[in-house]
Structure 1
Amino acid sequence: MSEEDLAHQVKRSLLRKRYLIVLDDVWDIEAWNRLEASFLDNGNGSRVILTSRLHDVAPQDKLHHETHSLRQLTPDQSWDLLKAKLYPGKDLTPKLCELQQQVVEICQGLPLTVVILAGILSSMDRRDWKEVVEGLSLRNVSSIEQCIATLELSYKHLSDNLKHKRSEDVANDYLMQLISRNLVIVSKPGSIDGQSLSHSRFVV
Protein backbone atom coordinates (compact mmCIF):
# COMPACT_ATOMS: atom_id res chain seq x y z
CA MET A 1 0.00 0.00 0.00
CA SER A 2 1.40 3.41 -1.00
CA GLU A 3 1.57 6.40 1.35
CA GLU A 4 -1.22 8.06 -0.61
CA ASP A 5 -3.47 5.02 -0.28
CA LEU A 6 -2.76 4.79 3.43
CA ALA A 7 -3.47 8.50 3.95
CA HIS A 8 -6.76 8.16 2.07
CA GLN A 9 -7.75 5.14 4.17
CA VAL A 10 -7.00 6.99 7.42
CA LYS A 11 -8.97 10.01 6.21
CA ARG A 12 -11.95 7.84 5.28
CA SER A 13 -11.93 5.95 8.59
CA LEU A 14 -11.96 9.21 10.58
CA LEU A 15 -14.72 10.83 8.55
CA ARG A 16 -17.57 12.10 10.77
CA LYS A 17 -15.89 10.68 13.88
CA ARG A 18 -14.64 12.48 16.95
CA TYR A 19 -11.07 11.50 17.67
CA LEU A 20 -7.97 12.25 19.72
CA ILE A 21 -4.72 11.16 18.09
CA VAL A 22 -1.31 11.45 19.78
CA LEU A 23 1.85 11.43 17.66
CA ASP A 24 4.60 10.94 20.22
CA ASP A 25 8.29 11.86 19.85
CA VAL A 26 8.20 13.16 16.27
CA TRP A 27 11.65 14.06 14.92
CA ASP A 28 10.83 15.26 11.41
CA ILE A 29 8.23 17.87 10.43
CA GLU A 30 7.85 16.13 7.06
CA ALA A 31 6.21 13.22 8.86
CA TRP A 32 3.51 15.60 10.11
CA ASN A 33 3.16 17.31 6.74
CA ARG A 34 2.42 13.96 5.10
CA LEU A 35 -0.18 13.04 7.71
CA GLU A 36 -1.92 16.35 8.33
CA ALA A 37 -4.28 16.12 5.35
CA SER A 38 -5.67 12.84 6.74
CA PHE A 39 -6.98 14.55 9.88
CA LEU A 40 -10.06 16.49 8.85
CA ASP A 41 -11.43 19.30 11.00
CA ASN A 42 -15.02 18.13 11.39
CA GLY A 43 -15.83 20.89 13.86
CA ASN A 44 -16.67 18.31 16.53
CA GLY A 45 -13.78 18.86 18.91
CA SER A 46 -11.36 16.34 17.40
CA ARG A 47 -7.72 16.99 18.26
CA VAL A 48 -4.25 15.84 17.24
CA ILE A 49 -1.45 16.14 19.81
CA LEU A 50 2.10 16.06 18.49
CA THR A 51 5.03 15.79 20.91
CA SER A 52 8.64 16.40 20.01
CA ARG A 53 11.96 17.22 21.63
CA LEU A 54 12.78 19.57 18.73
CA HIS A 55 11.33 23.07 18.44
CA ASP A 56 11.68 22.99 14.64
CA VAL A 57 9.13 20.18 14.41
CA ALA A 58 6.32 22.34 15.79
CA PRO A 59 3.85 23.33 13.02
CA GLN A 60 4.37 26.96 12.01
CA ASP A 61 0.71 27.68 11.24
CA LYS A 62 -0.25 29.52 14.45
CA LEU A 63 -3.84 30.07 13.28
CA HIS A 64 -4.72 26.36 13.38
CA HIS A 65 -2.05 25.03 15.75
CA GLU A 66 -1.14 25.85 19.33
CA THR A 67 2.36 25.20 20.60
CA HIS A 68 3.02 24.47 24.27
CA SER A 69 6.66 24.38 25.33
CA LEU A 70 7.25 22.30 28.45
CA ARG A 71 9.61 23.84 30.96
CA GLN A 72 12.76 21.94 31.80
CA LEU A 73 13.43 20.93 35.37
CA THR A 74 15.37 23.30 37.59
CA PRO A 75 18.70 22.03 38.98
CA ASP A 76 17.01 21.36 42.34
CA GLN A 77 14.13 19.49 40.68
CA SER A 78 16.58 17.39 38.65
CA TRP A 79 18.52 16.51 41.79
CA ASP A 80 15.36 15.65 43.74
CA LEU A 81 14.18 13.37 40.92
CA LEU A 82 17.53 11.58 40.78
CA LYS A 83 17.49 11.07 44.55
CA ALA A 84 13.94 9.72 44.41
CA LYS A 85 14.89 7.21 41.70
CA LEU A 86 18.18 6.12 43.26
CA TYR A 87 17.30 6.14 46.96
CA PRO A 88 13.53 6.37 47.49
CA GLY A 89 12.94 7.44 51.08
CA LYS A 90 16.63 7.13 52.03
CA ASP A 91 19.55 9.49 52.60
CA LEU A 92 22.09 9.93 49.83
CA THR A 93 25.59 8.54 50.05
CA PRO A 94 28.44 11.08 50.33
CA LYS A 95 29.85 9.74 47.07
CA LEU A 96 26.76 10.79 45.12
CA CYS A 97 26.57 14.19 46.84
CA GLU A 98 30.10 14.91 45.61
CA LEU A 99 28.85 14.52 42.04
CA GLN A 100 25.74 16.70 42.40
CA GLN A 101 26.90 19.63 40.26
CA GLN A 102 28.11 17.39 37.43
CA VAL A 103 24.95 15.29 37.49
CA VAL A 104 22.72 18.37 37.25
CA GLU A 105 24.74 19.72 34.31
CA ILE A 106 24.57 16.39 32.48
CA CYS A 107 20.79 16.12 32.77
CA GLN A 108 20.18 19.70 31.53
CA GLY A 109 16.68 19.71 32.97
CA LEU A 110 15.42 16.71 30.96
CA PRO A 111 13.44 14.23 33.12
CA LEU A 112 14.21 11.35 30.74
CA THR A 113 17.95 11.92 31.11
CA VAL A 114 17.62 12.04 34.90
CA VAL A 115 15.71 8.75 35.02
CA ILE A 116 18.10 7.01 32.61
CA LEU A 117 21.17 8.19 34.52
CA ALA A 118 19.62 6.99 37.78
CA GLY A 119 19.04 3.59 36.19
CA ILE A 120 22.65 3.40 35.00
CA LEU A 121 24.10 4.34 38.37
CA SER A 122 21.81 1.99 40.30
CA SER A 123 23.11 -0.97 38.30
CA MET A 124 26.79 -0.14 38.82
CA ASP A 125 29.32 -0.37 41.60
CA ARG A 126 29.41 2.97 43.42
CA ARG A 127 33.16 3.11 42.95
CA ASP A 128 32.55 3.51 39.21
CA TRP A 129 30.03 6.35 39.47
CA LYS A 130 32.59 9.13 39.26
CA GLU A 131 34.13 7.74 36.08
CA VAL A 132 30.73 7.48 34.36
CA VAL A 133 29.57 10.95 35.42
CA GLU A 134 32.86 12.59 34.44
CA GLY A 135 32.77 10.84 31.07
CA LEU A 136 29.37 12.31 30.30
CA SER A 137 30.38 15.73 31.67
CA LEU A 138 33.13 16.05 29.06
CA ARG A 139 30.58 16.25 26.24
CA ASN A 140 29.94 19.85 25.15
CA VAL A 141 26.66 19.13 23.38
CA SER A 142 23.02 20.18 23.31
CA SER A 143 20.45 18.75 25.72
CA ILE A 144 19.06 16.47 22.99
CA GLU A 145 22.50 15.12 22.13
CA GLN A 146 23.23 14.64 25.83
CA CYS A 147 20.01 12.68 26.22
CA ILE A 148 20.96 10.46 23.28
CA ALA A 149 24.45 9.95 24.72
CA THR A 150 22.93 8.88 28.03
CA LEU A 151 20.60 6.47 26.22
CA GLU A 152 23.59 4.96 24.41
CA LEU A 153 25.41 4.53 27.71
CA SER A 154 22.33 2.87 29.18
CA TYR A 155 22.29 0.42 26.26
CA LYS A 156 25.99 -0.37 26.68
CA HIS A 157 25.39 -1.35 30.31
CA LEU A 158 22.64 -3.83 29.46
CA SER A 159 23.50 -7.48 29.91
CA ASP A 160 24.37 -9.25 26.65
CA ASN A 161 21.14 -11.24 26.57
CA LEU A 162 19.10 -8.00 26.51
CA LYS A 163 20.95 -6.41 23.61
CA HIS A 164 19.78 -6.77 20.02
CA LYS A 165 22.30 -8.87 18.12
CA ARG A 166 23.29 -8.50 14.51
CA SER A 167 22.32 -11.39 12.26
CA GLU A 168 26.03 -12.16 11.84
CA ASP A 169 26.45 -12.46 15.61
CA VAL A 170 23.44 -14.78 15.89
CA ALA A 171 24.78 -16.94 13.05
CA ASN A 172 28.19 -17.05 14.72
CA ASP A 173 26.65 -18.19 18.02
CA TYR A 174 24.76 -20.99 16.28
CA LEU A 175 27.86 -22.07 14.38
CA MET A 176 29.94 -22.20 17.55
CA GLN A 177 27.26 -24.38 19.16
CA LEU A 178 27.38 -26.78 16.23
CA ILE A 179 31.17 -26.93 16.44
CA SER A 180 31.07 -27.58 20.19
CA ARG A 181 28.70 -30.51 19.58
CA ASN A 182 30.94 -31.91 16.83
CA LEU A 183 28.15 -31.49 14.28
CA VAL A 184 30.43 -29.21 12.27
CA ILE A 185 34.16 -29.83 11.94
CA VAL A 186 36.71 -27.15 11.10
CA SER A 187 38.74 -28.56 8.20
CA LYS A 188 41.12 -25.62 7.86
CA PRO A 189 43.34 -24.90 10.88
CA GLY A 190 43.03 -21.44 12.34
CA SER A 191 41.62 -19.38 15.14
CA ILE A 192 37.92 -19.89 15.77
CA ASP A 193 36.42 -16.56 16.66
CA GLY A 194 33.97 -14.05 15.26
CA GLN A 195 36.58 -12.45 13.03
CA SER A 196 38.19 -15.49 11.47
CA LEU A 197 35.21 -17.79 10.98
CA SER A 198 34.45 -16.29 7.58
CA HIS A 199 37.91 -17.38 6.42
CA SER A 200 37.67 -20.96 7.66
CA ARG A 201 36.30 -24.04 5.93
CA PHE A 202 33.82 -26.36 7.56
CA VAL A 203 32.68 -29.94 7.03
CA VAL A 204 29.18 -30.98 8.09
Structure 2
Amino acid sequence: MEDILDTFLVLVDGRPHPDHPADGNLVRRLTEKMGQLTFSLSKVKARHDIAAAIEEIKRQLQEGAERRARYRVDDVLARPAAAATSIDPRLAALFTKRSQLVGMNVPMSTLINMLSASDDDMSNRKMKIVCVVGFGGIVKTTLAKRVFDEFKANFCCAAFVSVGRIPDLKKVFRDILINLGHTDSNLMVLDETQLINSVRGFLESKRYFIVIDDIWDEPSWNIIRCALDDNNLGSRIIITTRIHAVAEKVGCSYQMEPLSYESSKQLFCGRIFGFGSKCPDLFSEISEKLLRKCGGVPLAIITTSSLLANKPRNIKVWSELCDSIGSGFESNQDMDNMRKILSLSYIDLPCHLKNCVLYLSIFP
Protein backbone atom coordinates (compact mmCIF):
# COMPACT_ATOMS: atom_id res chain seq x y z
CA MET A 1 0.00 0.00 0.00
CA GLU A 2 2.91 2.34 0.67
CA ASP A 3 4.20 1.66 -2.84
CA ILE A 4 0.78 2.49 -4.27
CA LEU A 5 0.62 5.75 -2.32
CA ASP A 6 4.05 6.68 -3.69
CA THR A 7 2.73 6.02 -7.19
CA PHE A 8 -0.31 8.18 -6.42
CA LEU A 9 1.90 11.09 -5.35
CA VAL A 10 3.96 10.84 -8.54
CA LEU A 11 1.20 10.31 -11.12
CA VAL A 12 -1.86 12.00 -9.65
CA ASP A 13 -1.16 14.45 -6.86
CA GLY A 14 0.15 17.30 -9.03
CA ARG A 15 1.80 20.43 -7.61
CA PRO A 16 2.20 23.90 -9.23
CA HIS A 17 5.33 23.84 -11.36
CA PRO A 18 8.21 25.66 -9.63
CA ASP A 19 8.98 27.57 -12.84
CA HIS A 20 5.46 29.09 -12.93
CA PRO A 21 4.60 30.33 -9.40
CA ALA A 22 1.17 31.90 -8.85
CA ASP A 23 1.15 35.71 -8.79
CA GLY A 24 -1.36 38.56 -8.82
CA ASN A 25 -2.05 38.41 -12.55
CA LEU A 26 -5.66 37.20 -12.89
CA VAL A 27 -5.25 35.94 -16.46
CA ARG A 28 -2.14 33.99 -15.60
CA ARG A 29 -3.75 32.43 -12.54
CA LEU A 30 -6.82 31.45 -14.59
CA THR A 31 -4.59 29.87 -17.24
CA GLU A 32 -2.77 27.82 -14.62
CA LYS A 33 -6.03 26.57 -13.09
CA MET A 34 -7.32 25.54 -16.52
CA GLY A 35 -4.02 23.73 -17.16
CA GLN A 36 -4.26 21.87 -13.86
CA LEU A 37 -7.85 20.84 -14.61
CA THR A 38 -6.84 19.45 -18.02
CA PHE A 39 -3.89 17.73 -16.39
CA SER A 40 -6.23 16.14 -13.79
CA LEU A 41 -8.72 14.94 -16.41
CA SER A 42 -5.91 13.19 -18.24
CA LYS A 43 -5.17 11.18 -15.08
CA VAL A 44 -8.56 9.56 -14.63
CA LYS A 45 -7.20 6.19 -15.83
CA ALA A 46 -4.23 6.41 -13.40
CA ARG A 47 -6.61 7.15 -10.50
CA HIS A 48 -8.80 4.20 -11.49
CA ASP A 49 -5.81 1.80 -11.70
CA ILE A 50 -4.50 2.87 -8.30
CA ALA A 51 -7.93 2.49 -6.69
CA ALA A 52 -8.23 -0.99 -8.24
CA ALA A 53 -4.80 -1.96 -6.91
CA ILE A 54 -5.76 -0.90 -3.38
CA GLU A 55 -9.00 -2.83 -3.61
CA GLU A 56 -7.04 -5.92 -4.71
CA ILE A 57 -4.76 -5.67 -1.67
CA LYS A 58 -7.77 -5.30 0.62
CA ARG A 59 -9.32 -8.39 -1.01
CA GLN A 60 -6.12 -10.43 -0.42
CA LEU A 61 -5.99 -9.30 3.21
CA GLN A 62 -9.59 -10.34 3.71
CA GLU A 63 -8.91 -13.78 2.20
CA GLY A 64 -5.86 -14.19 4.45
CA ALA A 65 -7.89 -13.32 7.54
CA GLU A 66 -10.58 -15.82 6.54
CA ARG A 67 -7.99 -18.59 6.00
CA ARG A 68 -6.44 -17.86 9.40
CA ALA A 69 -9.84 -18.15 11.07
CA ARG A 70 -10.74 -21.28 9.07
CA TYR A 71 -7.55 -23.19 9.90
CA ARG A 72 -7.37 -21.83 13.49
CA VAL A 73 -3.64 -21.12 13.28
CA ASP A 74 -3.53 -19.50 16.72
CA ASP A 75 -4.67 -22.74 18.35
CA VAL A 76 -1.72 -24.73 17.00
CA LEU A 77 1.26 -25.05 19.38
CA ALA A 78 4.70 -25.93 18.06
CA ARG A 79 5.85 -29.24 19.48
CA PRO A 80 9.30 -30.06 18.05
CA ALA A 81 10.28 -33.70 18.32
CA ALA A 82 13.57 -32.81 19.96
CA ALA A 83 14.22 -29.26 20.99
CA ALA A 84 17.67 -28.08 20.05
CA THR A 85 19.66 -27.14 23.12
CA SER A 86 22.83 -25.10 22.91
CA ILE A 87 25.79 -26.33 24.93
CA ASP A 88 27.43 -23.75 27.15
CA PRO A 89 30.80 -23.07 25.46
CA ARG A 90 32.32 -22.23 28.85
CA LEU A 91 31.75 -25.80 30.03
CA ALA A 92 35.18 -26.96 28.82
CA ALA A 93 36.84 -24.38 31.08
CA LEU A 94 35.68 -26.38 34.12
CA PHE A 95 37.67 -29.43 33.06
CA THR A 96 40.94 -27.95 31.78
CA LYS A 97 43.98 -30.07 32.68
CA ARG A 98 46.35 -28.50 35.16
CA SER A 99 49.27 -29.13 32.81
CA GLN A 100 47.57 -26.90 30.22
CA LEU A 101 47.05 -23.95 32.56
CA VAL A 102 49.52 -21.11 31.97
CA GLY A 103 49.92 -17.86 33.89
CA MET A 104 47.57 -18.99 36.67
CA ASN A 105 49.98 -19.08 39.62
CA VAL A 106 49.89 -15.37 40.46
CA PRO A 107 46.08 -14.95 40.08
CA MET A 108 45.52 -18.12 42.10
CA SER A 109 47.75 -17.10 44.99
CA THR A 110 46.26 -13.59 45.00
CA LEU A 111 42.70 -14.89 45.07
CA ILE A 112 43.47 -17.46 47.78
CA ASN A 113 45.10 -14.77 49.90
CA MET A 114 41.99 -12.61 49.53
CA LEU A 115 39.87 -15.53 50.74
CA SER A 116 42.18 -16.75 53.47
CA ALA A 117 41.65 -16.11 57.17
CA SER A 118 43.41 -13.22 58.85
CA ASP A 119 44.94 -13.05 62.33
CA ASP A 120 41.84 -11.39 63.77
CA ASP A 121 39.51 -14.10 65.13
CA MET A 122 36.39 -11.94 64.70
CA SER A 123 37.35 -11.21 61.12
CA ASN A 124 37.85 -14.92 60.46
CA ARG A 125 34.26 -15.68 61.42
CA LYS A 126 32.75 -13.17 59.00
CA MET A 127 31.73 -14.35 55.57
CA LYS A 128 34.06 -13.12 52.78
CA ILE A 129 32.86 -12.48 49.24
CA VAL A 130 35.39 -11.90 46.44
CA CYS A 131 34.40 -10.96 42.89
CA VAL A 132 36.56 -11.96 39.91
CA VAL A 133 35.86 -9.44 37.15
CA GLY A 134 37.06 -9.27 33.54
CA PHE A 135 35.91 -9.47 29.94
CA GLY A 136 34.88 -12.66 28.14
CA GLY A 137 37.59 -15.20 27.36
CA ILE A 138 39.96 -14.02 30.10
CA VAL A 139 39.48 -17.39 31.94
CA LYS A 140 37.60 -16.12 35.01
CA THR A 141 35.73 -19.43 35.17
CA THR A 142 38.93 -21.46 34.87
CA LEU A 143 40.56 -19.48 37.70
CA ALA A 144 37.51 -19.77 39.95
CA LYS A 145 37.29 -23.54 39.34
CA ARG A 146 40.99 -24.02 40.07
CA VAL A 147 40.73 -22.10 43.37
CA PHE A 148 37.51 -23.97 44.19
CA ASP A 149 39.24 -27.34 43.75
CA GLU A 150 42.20 -26.25 45.88
CA PHE A 151 40.17 -24.58 48.64
CA LYS A 152 36.98 -26.62 49.08
CA ALA A 153 38.53 -29.25 51.38
CA ASN A 154 38.66 -26.64 54.15
CA PHE A 155 34.85 -26.38 54.36
CA CYS A 156 31.91 -28.52 55.46
CA CYS A 157 30.24 -28.26 52.06
CA ALA A 158 30.93 -26.58 48.73
CA ALA A 159 29.14 -25.79 45.46
CA PHE A 160 30.08 -24.43 42.03
CA VAL A 161 27.13 -23.14 39.95
CA SER A 162 26.78 -21.05 36.80
CA VAL A 163 24.18 -18.32 36.26
CA GLY A 164 24.53 -17.00 32.70
CA ARG A 165 23.26 -14.01 30.76
CA ILE A 166 19.58 -15.06 30.96
CA PRO A 167 19.41 -16.49 34.47
CA ASP A 168 17.00 -19.15 35.64
CA LEU A 169 17.19 -18.44 39.37
CA LYS A 170 15.13 -21.49 40.30
CA LYS A 171 17.71 -23.67 38.56
CA VAL A 172 20.54 -21.76 40.24
CA PHE A 173 19.10 -22.42 43.71
CA ARG A 174 18.37 -26.06 42.86
CA ASP A 175 21.96 -26.50 41.62
CA ILE A 176 23.32 -24.97 44.83
CA LEU A 177 21.27 -27.37 46.95
CA ILE A 178 22.18 -30.42 44.86
CA ASN A 179 25.91 -29.51 44.85
CA LEU A 180 25.82 -28.99 48.61
CA GLY A 181 24.39 -32.47 49.09
CA HIS A 182 20.71 -31.66 49.69
CA THR A 183 18.64 -34.79 49.14
CA ASP A 184 15.06 -33.44 49.03
CA SER A 185 13.25 -34.86 45.98
CA ASN A 186 10.66 -32.06 45.88
CA LEU A 187 12.99 -29.30 44.65
CA MET A 188 11.32 -29.10 41.23
CA VAL A 189 7.98 -27.96 42.68
CA LEU A 190 9.37 -25.19 44.91
CA ASP A 191 9.21 -21.53 43.91
CA GLU A 192 12.04 -18.98 44.36
CA THR A 193 11.06 -18.01 47.90
CA GLN A 194 10.83 -21.64 49.04
CA LEU A 195 14.16 -22.45 47.39
CA ILE A 196 15.85 -19.47 49.08
CA ASN A 197 14.49 -20.63 52.43
CA SER A 198 15.75 -24.16 51.72
CA VAL A 199 19.26 -22.89 50.92
CA ARG A 200 19.34 -20.69 54.03
CA GLY A 201 18.05 -23.50 56.23
CA PHE A 202 20.58 -25.99 54.85
CA LEU A 203 23.53 -23.58 55.34
CA GLU A 204 22.42 -22.25 58.71
CA SER A 205 24.95 -24.17 60.80
CA LYS A 206 27.56 -25.00 58.13
CA ARG A 207 30.83 -23.38 57.06
CA TYR A 208 30.47 -23.36 53.29
CA PHE A 209 32.35 -22.35 50.13
CA ILE A 210 30.28 -21.44 47.05
CA VAL A 211 31.30 -20.17 43.61
CA ILE A 212 28.62 -18.31 41.60
CA ASP A 213 29.95 -18.15 38.06
CA ASP A 214 29.02 -15.65 35.30
CA ILE A 215 26.63 -13.13 36.87
CA TRP A 216 25.40 -10.52 34.38
CA ASP A 217 23.33 -8.07 36.41
CA GLU A 218 22.90 -6.64 39.89
CA PRO A 219 19.27 -7.79 40.45
CA SER A 220 20.25 -11.45 39.92
CA TRP A 221 23.12 -11.13 42.39
CA ASN A 222 20.90 -9.36 44.93
CA ILE A 223 18.42 -12.25 44.88
CA ILE A 224 21.13 -14.93 45.04
CA ARG A 225 22.77 -13.03 47.90
CA CYS A 226 19.54 -13.37 49.92
CA ALA A 227 20.04 -17.14 50.04
CA LEU A 228 23.65 -16.97 51.22
CA ASP A 229 23.25 -16.08 54.87
CA ASP A 230 26.25 -14.94 56.91
CA ASN A 231 26.18 -17.39 59.83
CA ASN A 232 29.51 -16.15 61.30
CA LEU A 233 31.25 -19.46 60.66
CA GLY A 234 33.87 -18.16 58.22
CA SER A 235 32.13 -19.08 54.97
CA ARG A 236 33.61 -17.94 51.62
CA ILE A 237 32.00 -16.97 48.31
CA ILE A 238 33.53 -16.27 44.87
CA ILE A 239 31.50 -14.71 42.09
CA THR A 240 32.68 -14.11 38.52
CA THR A 241 31.28 -11.41 36.25
CA ARG A 242 31.99 -9.22 33.24
CA ILE A 243 29.95 -6.38 34.71
CA HIS A 244 31.89 -3.83 36.77
CA ALA A 245 28.69 -2.61 38.47
CA VAL A 246 28.29 -6.08 40.01
CA ALA A 247 31.91 -6.03 41.17
CA GLU A 248 31.40 -2.60 42.75
CA LYS A 249 28.32 -3.94 44.53
CA VAL A 250 30.40 -6.72 46.10
CA GLY A 251 33.20 -4.34 47.05
CA CYS A 252 36.11 -6.78 47.23
CA SER A 253 37.16 -7.68 43.67
CA TYR A 254 40.06 -9.10 41.69
CA GLN A 255 40.54 -7.68 38.18
CA MET A 256 41.66 -10.31 35.66
CA GLU A 257 44.37 -9.13 33.28
CA PRO A 258 45.45 -10.49 29.87
CA LEU A 259 48.40 -12.88 29.82
CA SER A 260 51.91 -11.48 29.48
CA TYR A 261 53.71 -12.02 26.19
CA GLU A 262 55.86 -14.80 27.67
CA SER A 263 52.87 -16.63 29.14
CA SER A 264 50.95 -16.17 25.88
CA LYS A 265 53.83 -17.65 23.92
CA GLN A 266 54.17 -20.56 26.35
CA LEU A 267 50.45 -21.37 26.06
CA PHE A 268 50.45 -20.95 22.27
CA CYS A 269 53.51 -23.12 21.59
CA GLY A 270 52.53 -25.68 24.22
CA ARG A 271 49.20 -26.31 22.52
CA ILE A 272 50.84 -26.86 19.13
CA PHE A 273 54.25 -28.41 19.80
CA GLY A 274 53.71 -29.84 23.29
CA PHE A 275 54.11 -28.17 26.66
CA GLY A 276 57.76 -27.49 27.41
CA SER A 277 58.59 -27.24 23.71
CA LYS A 278 59.77 -24.09 21.93
CA CYS A 279 58.44 -22.63 18.72
CA PRO A 280 60.72 -23.44 15.73
CA ASP A 281 62.56 -20.43 14.29
CA LEU A 282 60.71 -20.87 10.99
CA PHE A 283 57.40 -20.01 12.68
CA SER A 284 58.62 -17.39 15.15
CA GLU A 285 57.66 -14.34 13.06
CA ILE A 286 54.17 -15.56 12.13
CA SER A 287 53.66 -16.72 15.73
CA GLU A 288 54.32 -13.19 16.98
CA LYS A 289 51.74 -11.82 14.52
CA LEU A 290 49.17 -14.35 15.72
CA LEU A 291 49.89 -13.59 19.38
CA ARG A 292 49.49 -9.85 18.76
CA LYS A 293 46.06 -10.56 17.27
CA CYS A 294 45.14 -12.67 20.30
CA GLY A 295 46.05 -9.78 22.64
CA GLY A 296 46.83 -11.97 25.63
CA VAL A 297 43.28 -13.36 25.79
CA PRO A 298 43.65 -17.04 26.77
CA LEU A 299 40.48 -18.10 24.94
CA ALA A 300 41.74 -16.60 21.67
CA ILE A 301 45.21 -18.14 22.12
CA ILE A 302 43.81 -21.59 22.90
CA THR A 303 41.36 -21.48 20.00
CA THR A 304 43.94 -20.30 17.46
CA SER A 305 46.64 -22.73 18.58
CA SER A 306 44.16 -25.65 18.61
CA LEU A 307 43.22 -24.78 15.04
CA LEU A 308 46.87 -24.68 13.96
CA ALA A 309 47.63 -27.96 15.74
CA ASN A 310 45.31 -29.71 13.29
CA LYS A 311 46.83 -28.08 10.19
CA PRO A 312 50.03 -28.88 8.29
CA ARG A 313 53.09 -27.15 9.74
CA ASN A 314 53.53 -24.99 6.69
CA ILE A 315 54.34 -21.27 6.80
CA LYS A 316 51.85 -20.55 4.00
CA VAL A 317 49.01 -22.27 5.87
CA TRP A 318 49.82 -20.34 9.04
CA SER A 319 49.95 -17.03 7.15
CA GLU A 320 46.56 -17.71 5.55
CA LEU A 321 45.08 -18.40 8.98
CA CYS A 322 46.64 -15.22 10.39
CA ASP A 323 45.04 -13.18 7.59
CA SER A 324 41.64 -14.84 7.99
CA ILE A 325 41.28 -14.68 11.80
CA GLY A 326 39.53 -11.30 11.85
CA SER A 327 37.39 -12.07 8.80
CA GLY A 328 35.52 -15.04 10.25
CA PHE A 329 36.33 -17.24 7.23
CA GLU A 330 37.97 -19.91 9.37
CA SER A 331 35.31 -22.01 11.05
CA ASN A 332 35.34 -24.98 13.38
CA GLN A 333 33.74 -25.79 16.73
CA ASP A 334 36.44 -24.01 18.75
CA MET A 335 36.22 -20.86 16.61
CA ASP A 336 32.44 -20.86 16.84
CA ASN A 337 32.59 -21.18 20.63
CA MET A 338 35.11 -18.35 20.87
CA ARG A 339 32.94 -16.07 18.73
CA LYS A 340 29.90 -16.97 20.82
CA ILE A 341 31.67 -16.05 24.07
CA LEU A 342 33.24 -12.85 22.75
CA SER A 343 30.03 -11.76 21.00
CA LEU A 344 28.32 -11.60 24.40
CA SER A 345 30.81 -8.91 25.39
CA TYR A 346 29.87 -7.00 22.23
CA ILE A 347 26.14 -7.36 22.91
CA ASP A 348 26.61 -5.89 26.38
CA LEU A 349 28.35 -2.74 25.10
CA PRO A 350 26.49 0.59 25.08
CA CYS A 351 25.31 1.71 21.62
CA HIS A 352 28.04 4.29 20.99
CA LEU A 353 30.77 1.74 21.71
CA LYS A 354 29.09 -0.82 19.44
CA ASN A 355 29.31 1.69 16.60
CA CYS A 356 32.96 2.31 17.47
CA VAL A 357 33.76 -1.42 17.34
CA LEU A 358 31.95 -1.79 14.00
CA TYR A 359 34.00 1.07 12.49
CA LEU A 360 37.22 -0.54 13.76
CA SER A 361 36.11 -3.83 12.21
CA ILE A 362 35.43 -2.21 8.82
CA PHE A 363 38.65 -0.18 8.85
CA PRO A 364 41.17 -2.28 10.84
> What is the TM-score when the length of structure 1 is the normalising length?
0.58
- 1:113 and 1:137 map into 2 onto residues whose CA distance is 11
- Kept in 2: contact 1:82–1:114 (CA 8 A): yes
- 1:29 and 1:132 map into 2 onto residues whose CA distance is 40
Moved more, 28-37 or 13-22: 28-37
Q: 1:123 aligns with which of 310, 320, 324?
A: 310
| Alignment-derived partner of residue 235 in structure 2 | 46
Q: 1:13 aligns with which of 198, 202, 207?
A: 202
- 1:32 and 1:86 map into 2 onto residues whose CA distance is 39
- Kept in 2: contact 1:86–1:118 (CA 8 A): yes
- 2:234 and 2:244 map into 1 onto residues whose CA distance is 25
1:25–1:116 CA distance, 2 compared to 1 (3 A): farther
1:70–1:16 CA distance, 2 compared to 1 (3 A): same
Equivalent residue letter for 1:153? M
Measured after TM superposition, the shift of residue 95 of structure 1 is 5.2
RMSD: 2.9
Equivalent residue letter for 2:264? S
- Kept in 1: contact 2:303–2:335 (CA 8 A): no
| Alignment-derived partner of residue 73 in structure 1 | 259
1:154–1:87 CA distance, 2 compared to 1 (3 A): farther
| Alignment-derived partner of residue 135 in structure 1 | 324
- 1:101 and 1:56 map into 2 onto residues whose CA distance is 35
- Kept in 2: contact 1:25–1:51 (CA 8 A): yes
1:79–1:9 CA distance, 2 compared to 1 (3 A): same
| Alignment-derived partner of residue 97 in structure 1 | 284
- 1:130 and 1:57 map into 2 onto residues whose CA distance is 41
1:151–1:33 CA distance, 2 compared to 1 (3 A): farther
What SS is found at the alignment partner of 2:214?
coil
- 2:332 and 2:214 map into 1 onto residues whose CA distance is 17
1:71–1:18 CA distance, 2 compared to 1 (3 A): same
Percent identical among aligned pairs is 27
Equivalent residue letter for 1:6? L
What SS is found at the alignment partner of 1:51?
strand
Matches within 5 A, 1:1-204: 1-62=190-251, 66-88=252-274, 89-94=276-281, 96-127=283-314, 128-137=317-326, 153=335
- 2:234 and 2:212 map into 1 onto residues whose CA distance is 17
Equivalent residue letter for 1:55? H
1:40–1:73 CA distance, 2 compared to 1 (3 A): same
1:51–1:103 CA distance, 2 compared to 1 (3 A): same
Residues 89-126 of structure 1: CA deviation (Å, up to 9, x unaligned): 43424553232333222322222332222212112234
Unpaired runs of 5+ residues, structure 1, are 140-148, 157-204
Measured after TM superposition, the shift of residue 138 of structure 1 is 5.5
Measured after TM superposition, the shift of residue 33 of structure 1 is 1.9
Moved more, 106-115 or 73-82: 106-115
What SS is found at the alignment partner of 1:37?
helix
* Runs of 4+ that moved beyond 6 A: none
1:122–1:54 CA distance, 2 compared to 1 (3 A): farther
- 2:247 and 2:202 map into 1 onto residues whose CA distance is 26
1:105–1:91 CA distance, 2 compared to 1 (3 A): closer
- 2:239 and 2:250 map into 1 onto residues whose CA distance is 14
Measured after TM superposition, the shift of residue 54 of structure 1 is 4.1
Aligned pairs, how many?
Answer: 144
- 1:138 and 1:90 map into 2 onto residues whose CA distance is 30
Structure 1 or 2: more helix by fraction: 2
- Kept in 2: contact 1:102–1:134 (CA 8 A): no
> What is the TM-score when the length of structure 2 is the normalising length?
0.35
- Kept in 2: contact 1:120–1:154 (CA 8 A): no
